[in-house]
Amino acid sequence: MSTVIALDRIAKVYGHGETAVHALRGVSLAVERGEYVAIMGTSGSGKSTLMHILGLLDQPSSGSYRLDGVDVAGLDEGAQSLVRSRRIGFVFQAFNLIPRTTAAANVELPLSYAKVSRTERRQRVAAALAQVGLSDRAGHKPNQLSGGQQQRVAVARALVTAPSLLLADEPTGNLDSRSTADILDLFDRLHGSGRTIILITHEDEVAERAGRVIRLRDGDVVSDTARTALEGKR
């Protein structure tokens, strides 16, 4: 197995001097290809900050971050946006589809930023929508879709570039239990097909699906347990 993510003493400090807030206090961890990791923690534990740094949406104050062996923390903005479009797929709690734009166009967006040819895009959009079971909703706009369907479109959008890493930030936070189950089943299937998934959650039942659970508290990793160990505890 190759290492997808290697974090070395990542720290993030907001503000200066006495008012400084240490969101992350030197987190080091490695995620191998094909792993399904859940990051848990109460609010303020630094899990969102970690997620943003993993997704190159935010810069760490110190430490090194290697994605697929490339040091990405030091890249300039243009290069980072390229990395985002090619190697990372995002799923947000609030779905974050572009309004007034069809499901297919939403899914196509990262491909067009990644400069994929038009014919290839069409095939990949169709494939991604089929993978989340929404081929028949390609022409629908976000406001014509249910929350669960919107989140599945968002997952399709995250998958369509075949990224090294799928980052999901509380993907089921805004969903009812049935849609939650749909999305989690979808993640299970993706995990089964070898995708690397990192999801943030504070719900145990969501974390239970993951193969590895990392708990954060006050910016530090307090536990990092593989599933076999979790099962063993029960």
CA distance 143 to 209: 30
Say how many CA atoms lie within 13 Å of 139 toward its Cβ.
1
Six-digit token pair at 163?
């990224």
CB 218 within 8 A of CB 45: yes
Write down the least CB distance from residue 228 to another protein, Å: 34
Backbone conformation region of residue 168, classed left if phi is above 0, alpha if psi is from -120 to 50, else beta: beta
End-to-end CA distance of the chain: 28
The number of residues in the chain equals 234
Sign of CA dihedral 57, 114, 98, 124: negative
Closest CB to another protein among residues 116, 138: 116
Closest CB to another protein among residues 164, 213: 164
Write down the least CB distance from residue 54 to another protein, Å: 12
Question: CA 189, 190, 196 angle in degrees (round to 5)?
Answer: 140
Amino acid identity for residue 230 in this structure = L
Closest CB to another protein among residues 40, 107: 107
Residue 188: C-alpha distances to residues 34, 50, 63, 121 (Å): 11, 23, 32, 25
Q: Which residues contact another protein by CB under 8 A? A: 52, 55, 57-58, 77-78, 81-86, 90, 92, 96-101, 109-110, 112-115, 118, 157, 161
Closest CB to another protein among residues 90, 187: 90
Neighbours of 91 (CB within 10 A): 25
Write down the least CB distance from residue 24 to another protein, Å: 14
Write down the least CB distance from residue 100 to another protein, Å: 6
Closest CB to another protein among residues 97, 103: 97
Write down the least CB distance from residue 107 to another protein, Å: 10
Closest CB to another protein among residues 75, 226: 75
